[in-house]
Chain A
Amino acid sequence: MKLSEAAVGTKVKILSVNFPPELQGRILGLGFVPGAIVEVVREAPFGDPRVYIVHGKMITLRKSEADLIEVKPLSRQFPLSMAEVGKRYIIKSFLGGPFFISRVRSMGIDIGNIIEVRSKFPMTIVVSGKIVRIGMGMAEKILVEEI
């Protein structure tokens, strides 16, 4: 996936870097090389740009720039928002504080549950026999692993 698609708070590994020639040297020199591990720290007030940590440095990139870096998730975990319709997943962890966690739990979704994705936009999943609809914002903060 593209670095711009990685969820805030996750770590990914760079597969390839494809910048125009005048920037390629600089971006590689900053440490964005294949094999490097990048952490997505935070996004700016309007959603763009975002702060990344690579090789111990904090670097900011716009979405248009992060689009040019191919990455893969470090763990096999990834946000539910990137799941595919028709597949089954197991809930691995939540990316939020206690309020968020209790809200998710009250919807019947907890760590260890096995879910199936019925549709996206809106995201509809089947968990413990019940059909639940969740917003994309919430889906971005639920990490799952494919079964």
Chain B
Amino acid sequence: MKAILVIFFVIFLLIGLFYIFNEDILWGLLVEVIALVYVFGLEPAYGENRWHSAAHIFAGGIFSILISGFLILEKLMSLLSEPQRITRLDVLFMIASLVAFLISLKFVREFEA
């Protein structure tokens, strides 16, 4: 589980940085929030380590699909007036989010009866 946290932290950290360097500062910061969710999963909590990490992986997947979904939605709606390009970075972000989301679904098992 620690591996998943580290890998996704790095992925979203880089994607966020790319957005920032491309002058898309606000979206870049949003992606960094996702990275933060993953990195804080590495912090040891009171006793129960396992579900603490699982909670972060689960939440990370949900937030990433939420944020990437909004980004795509905004770009799609812009087609109605001033079209914005969907860039390769956007596609990369979307794919990473989908993968993160699918993985988070596997972790739902940790929580339900």
Contacts and interface: CB of A to CB of B under 8 A. Distances in A.
A–B contact (CB under 8 angstroms): yes
Interface stretch (A64-72, A94-102, A120-128): A94-102
Per DSSP, chain A at the interface is: loop
User: Which of the listed residues B43, B46, B49 has the most CB atoms from chain A within 10 Å of its own CB?
Assistant: B46
B44 A95 contact: no
A135 interface: no
Contacts of B45: 97
A96 B49 contact: no
Contacts of B43: 97
Interface residues of A, number: 8
Nearest to A95: B46
A35 interface: no
A96 B45 CA distance: 6
A99 B45 CA distance: 9
A9 interface: yes
Nearest to A99: B44
A8 B45 CA distance: 12
B12 to A, nearest CB: 21
A95 B47 CA distance: 7
Interface in B36-86: 43-47, 49
Interface in A87-118: 95-100
B43 to A, nearest CB: 8
Interface of B: 43-47, 49
17 contacts: A8-B46, A9-B46, A95-B46, A95-B47, A96-B44, A96-B46, A96-B47, A97-B43, A97-B44, A97-B45, A97-B46, A97-B47, A97-B49, A98-B44, A98-B49, A99-B44, A100-B44
